Every structure is written in C-alpha cells, then in structure tokens.
Amino acid sequence: MKTKHLVTYNFITIHQDATVREVLQSFLDYRQDIACVVEEKKLIGIVTKYSLYRWLLDHANLEANIIHCIKRDVVTLLEEESVYYAKDLLVKENIGHAVVLNKYEDVVGIISKSELIKGFISERQNLVNRLQTLMNNLQESVLSVDTHLHVTSYNTSALTILHKTKSELTGQPITQTFPQIAANLRAVIRTKEIIKHKRLSIGDNTLIASFIPLKEWDTITGAMVVLKDITDFEYIADELETTKKLENMLDNALEVAYDGVVMIDNERNITKANKEFLSLIGISNSSSILGTSIDTVAPELTNHKHTIHSEKIVGELITIQGKKAILTQTPIYQDEQQVGTIIKLISKQLDVWKDLLSHLEKLEHELTYYKESFTAMGQHAGPFAHIVSKSSSMEELKQKALIAARSFSNILITGKSGTGKELIADGIHSASGRTGKFIKINCAAIPEELLESEIFGYSDGAFTGAKKGGKPGKFELAHEGTLFLDEIGDMPMTLQAKLLRILQEKEFERVGGTETIKVDTRIIAATNQDPAKLIAEGTFREDLYYRINVIQLHIPPLSERQEDIQLLCDHFIKKFNTKTNRDVIGISQEHLEKLLDYEWPGNVRQLENVLERAYHFSTSKWIDPEHIVLEKSRDPEASDTHKPPNERLDREKKLQETEKNMLIQALKNAGGNRTKAAKLLGMSRSSFYNKLKKYEVKEATQFM
C-alpha cells in the first residue's frame, strides 16, 4: 500500500496573506486541524490549530496575518512512498500529520496518523481474508490449536481429511479425537521447535504432517499442523515400483533373447531395442536410436511399412544389412488400443535352423518309410519285404508269389525289363523252404554255343578247352534249390527240347557225358517278351511253355503303379545314403511330379539309375531336380492301340530309330562297354544285347 492510498485530498490550502480569523473559520468549516500554506501549488509551510491557539493567547488579534503562525520546516512525503515509510516517519518525527507531495513537489494532500491506522486495519483485514482464502484453497490441510490444544482455526481441506464438521472442530480439544496429532502439537508448543514430515495414519489414509509453533511477540500462543494426504502417492509409488520392476524384467528378457527385438510406438519411433538388434544394424548403443524413426534406423524394414504397424506377421524373410532374417511382428495393445509394435528378427544361425528342419524332415521321411516297410512286412511274408511297393497290383502279386513259393510247381514270371522279376524269383526261393541254392542264368546274355554247357554242365574232355574233370551245370548247382532261367524267351530251340525233357523226367546228362544225373531243381523262368507272341512266331515251344507256365506271375510296368514311385525313391535314396554315408533327404513333392508323369520304359531299374545319377550330382540335402535326367523316348514296346494303323506304324518306326540311336549313343558314351551302356539306359544286360541284335548294331569295339 502506498501513501497516496491513505491521503486526505480534502484538505485546507491558504495563502500566506490570510488572517487568523479566516484560517480559524476554515478549520471550523472543514473540521480540520491543519492547513497548508501554498503559493502556486508549492508548499510554503503549515498552520496548525495549536499554533493559532498559541498566537491568540499571546496577541488576541484575530485580524492579524497568519504569517507569524506558519511552521516552515514541514515534514513532507511523496505520494508514491509506502505507508510503512509514512508510519515510520510520523512515529520518528512524533507528528500527527505529514504533507503529501507529488513527483513535481506540488501539494496533493495530507496524511494523518488516524488515516494510517485505518489503512493498516483494513490492510490487516485484507490479509486475514486472503490468508483464509489461501488456506481454504490449499491442497494441504491446516489446523491450529491454542496452548491447551483447543482448535482455533482450520481450513476446509482439514475438515475433509479429518472427517469432521466445523462444529466438531471449532474450539474443541483434539487430545481424544486425534491423539497422534495432539502429541506432536504438544511437543512443538513445549520445545518451540518445528517437527517436519512426520508420517501418520488416520483411518485408511496415510498422512505426512509438519508441526509448527505459533508465536505472538515471542510468546507461544499455540501450534499449527500442516497435513498432506499421501495415500494416492503411495499407491502410485507402489505402481511405479512395480512398473519399474517389470520394465527391468522386460529389459533383461530382451537382452537374453537370442533374436533381435525392437519395439516401436504408433509414430514408428523406437522405444526399445536389444543388443542383438543393435548388432544387426551395426550400432553399439541404444541411446542413439531411442526415439528415432525405425525407417531411418533400419530402412530395410520400410518395405514392410504397410504391414509393420497393425498386422501380425509371422516368419517373413527379409534382408537387413545384407543379412537374411526372419521377421515376426506383433502389435501391442493396451485397453484395446494399439500402443505400438514389437518386431522380432531371427538372423542368427539360420543355417542351423535350416539344417535342423531338413533333418526333421528327413526323420519324418524315414519314419514314414519304416512305417510303410513295417506295415508291408506285417502284411506279407518276410521274403518279399525287400520288394518295395504299396500298389494293390504289387501287393496282390506278392500274396500270389507267397502261395506259389509254397507249392512245388514251376513258375513263369512275366513283365517288362526292370520290373523286378528276379527280385520276385529270389523271394519265391526264400519263401519256398528249399534247402538248395538260388541259381540264376540269363539265357540272353550267354552266347548260344556256351549256354547248353552252362545249364547242363559238361563232362571231362567234352570239348577242347573244357575243364579237367568236367563242370557241373546250373541245374546241378541248383539241386534242391531253385534255378532261375531269366529271358527264357531267348533260349535256343534245341535247348528248349532238352529243358522240356528234364522238366518231365527230372534227369539229364552233362554235355559230352553219359552218366544220367537226377536232380530235384525247381524252375522259375522269366521273360520280358510276350510268350504267346513267341509261340506264334515259332521261337518258343508251346509244350515247354505249358510245362513252365504252371503258375504265372505278371509284374505290371512301373507306369501302371505310380503309387510305388515315391516309396521306391525313398528306398533307393536310403540305400545310397547307407553306401555313401551322406544324409540326402529325398525328392521334394514338387519335383516328384516330374517322376510320376514319366513313362519309365526301363521301369524300376531305370528309376534306380536315374536317381543314382541325380544323387551323386546333387550337392544339397535334397535331390536337385536339374540332375534328374529323363530320356525323352517311349518304350517302343508300349502299345499305342488308339492310333490309326498307318500312324502307328510310322510312329513305331520313328521310335525304333530313336531307340537304335540311343543304343549307339549309349555305347559311345560307355566307350564300347555294353554293361555300362545298358546301365546308362537303365536296361538289363540281356535286354540291351537283344536290342543290339534286333537293330543290328555293329561290333561294340567300334565305339571304343
């Protein structure tokens, strides 16, 4: 407050020519005790009631000029001075009034002690009001007591926190109601010392209280307590503590994670990143990227921007800093609102994963293979367990072969080259229980002049160059066993007659011998030609055919039992793995189609050869499809009955030409070696020889 606020502007100004009477009259009119003598607004001095009294007592002249009553050393004040300064000045000078001047030193008014007192009283009231307002609006609760601990004042917050009404508090002692507060207030009154931040419990609330002594002129008149409810803070602090702990746990979990993990907010700014992620992007410290856009930090992820926010992505392959990584992302939700996204990048040891997966796949394959083999073994007799198949035609055939094996009849096995005739014959022998050996002879592979002695043996000196003491033939060797006459359709007619005799009489003589040899040999014959056609062409004896064909087993070509192909592939690859100690898994489903669509003129043998080649050339865990080389020819023997005769003949001619060229090419590639050339084409040696004969391919030596 300034002096100008308490100035009396309604004051008496007089000229120094004024008389005592005039001035006294003004005092009476204005009920004032002082008049300012001014000249052009400037103060000359003052005339007070007492100075006039004194003049009148001495001179008793009302008409005298007041000049003699003027007090010239007047205490003045500037209107901008504070009222405190004004008060101090009046006290110091021991005067009741002071003249107030403006900044131009013009007289503006008078300030009196009584005005000052009124001003201070109203100022005090203002302060009290402001204090009360302040107290009522404080968040803290305030309560004061006198020295007897009776409540003298409080604010509204105190009523709330202490759960009391005004009448329950005003003037009431608090010793009973709030003993904790009372004890501390008592201590403060006694010691006159402040007690700060004391933790108290009132009801369910936790409070922090400060106790302050109240003094008046150095005398303790009571004490005050300031209370702050920290129940909510404590709860928040607990929450914060828990959140902090959780965050620590999360940080630790992220650090131990094997994969790169980065979290972004809805603005795509990074909120967290673990070490693995930092090493992926080539940064050592996360502080440099926190709060930065992921698009700046890892632009490789920008391609996935459209998906990176709200979508869940599992296992997308990306390249980051030149390294392959698998990206998985999950949006983070809070109260059903997305608050960010967590992105996981698996880049470490992807090869290990790949190997692990292929290993698993391989194990699965093996399991399937063994399951199927096991089922096959369970369903069929052991002797045929090595014949891999699941087609119904082959399953029936194996059943039939088992029955045939237990009989004593001769058996004729028909089927195209490479279908597994020898395999079946061998199985029949094993299942037959015959104690002798399984002896095989290929009638097409042995020159005609040697075949007889091979089958029947020869006696000492039978021909020039014959072994001394003679040599037993296959018939004798297969005594009490089985003689497998492969390619019987190629047996010369002379031998066919001799064979017929043995089959009827069970005895024979060696070539050049006279001794009759009795044998108990079971015959299993096989041919890849059509016996009826051979008989019709006159190259095969009908009577022999009936002798042999007691039981006929026909093996269907591989193209008619596609279901067996995958099983056979697995079987052969496993076989190769065992031989080479490699771990090739097999052929992927997609490339298997190529094998299923093929006609397989060389049947299972060709399949095995094709796979063997591809196996050796493949460098990965899977058979590389580019190494699966399938000849583009068809089996010339395969019928084409739905075509018109002319077209069929043309086609047959073309096929024969192609086949002849293939034979020549194979011989060239094999350096003239017929066995190798036959293998290259996936044919048996005997079929290969037959075809050479058929197409009159000249001496093999010319291909060397």
Ligand X SMILES: Nc1ncnc2c1ncn2[C@@H]1O[C@H](COP(=O)(O)OP(=O)(O)OP(=O)(O)O)[C@@H](O)[C@H]1O
- Whose Cβ is closer to ligand X: residue 269's or residue 528's? 528
- Whose Cβ is closer to ligand X: residue 418's or residue 470's? 418
Q: Residue 413 in 3-state DSSP?
A: strand
- Whose Cβ is closer to ligand X: residue 429's or residue 571's? 571
The pair of structure tokens assigned to 457 is: 């043996």
Minimum CB distance to ligand X, residue 312 (Å): 48
Those residues whose C-beta lies under 8 Å from the C-beta of residue 387, and which sit 6 or more positions away, are: 394, 398, 420, 423, 424, 427
Minimum CB distance to ligand X, residue 475 (Å): 20
* Residue type at position 162: L
Those residues whose C-beta lies under 8 Å from the C-beta of residue 333, and which sit 6 or more positions away, are: 339
Contact 47, 70 (CB under 8 A): yes
* Residue type at position 580: T
- Whose Cβ is closer to ligand X: residue 144's or residue 410's? 410
Those residues whose C-beta lies under 8 Å from the C-beta of residue 536, and which sit 6 or more positions away, are: none
What is the separation, in whole angstroms, between the first and last Cα of the chain? 130
122-128 CB contacts, 8 Å cutoff, 24+ apart: 123/1, 123/83
- Whose Cβ is closer to ligand X: residue 48's or residue 417's? 417
Residues linked to residue 47 through DSSP beta bridges, in sequence order: 35
| β-strands 411-415, 522-527 pairing | parallel
- The angle at the Cα of 138, spanning 132 to 143, to the nearest 5 degrees, equals 65
- Whose Cβ is closer to ligand X: residue 422's or residue 476's? 422
- Whose Cβ is closer to ligand X: residue 385's or residue 664's? 385
Minimum CB distance to ligand X, residue 251 (Å): 60
Minimum CB distance to ligand X, residue 552 (Å): 15
- Whose Cβ is closer to ligand X: residue 87's or residue 571's? 571
- 3-state SS of 98-115? EEEECCCCEEEEEEEHHH
Those residues whose C-beta lies under 8 Å from the C-beta of residue 101, and which sit 6 or more positions away, are: 43, 76, 77, 78, 79, 107, 108
| β-strands 551-555, 411-415 pairing | parallel
Contact 33, 17 (CB under 8 A): no
The pair of structure tokens assigned to 520 is: 């108990």
Minimum CB distance to ligand X, residue 389 (Å): 5
Contact 176, 170 (CB under 8 A): no
Minimum CB distance to ligand X, residue 563 (Å): 12
Minimum CB distance to ligand X, residue 594 (Å): 20
CB atoms inside a 10 Å sphere around CB 597: 10
Rg, C-alpha atoms of the chain: 62
Minimum CB distance to ligand X, residue 362 (Å): 20
* Helices 113-137 and 83-93, axial angle in degrees (round to 10): 140
- The angle at the Cα of 14, spanning 9 to 16, to the nearest 5 degrees, equals 145
Minimum CB distance to ligand X, residue 415 (Å): 6
Minimum CB distance to ligand X, residue 575 (Å): 9
- Whose Cβ is closer to ligand X: residue 491's or residue 604's? 604
- Whose Cβ is closer to ligand X: residue 545's or residue 688's? 688
Minimum CB distance to ligand X, residue 461 (Å): 35
- Site residues, ligand X (CB under 6 A): 387-389, 415, 417-423, 486, 528, 571, 604-605, 608, 684, 687
- Whose Cβ is closer to ligand X: residue 222's or residue 420's? 420
Sign of CA dihedral 427, 429, 431, 437: negative
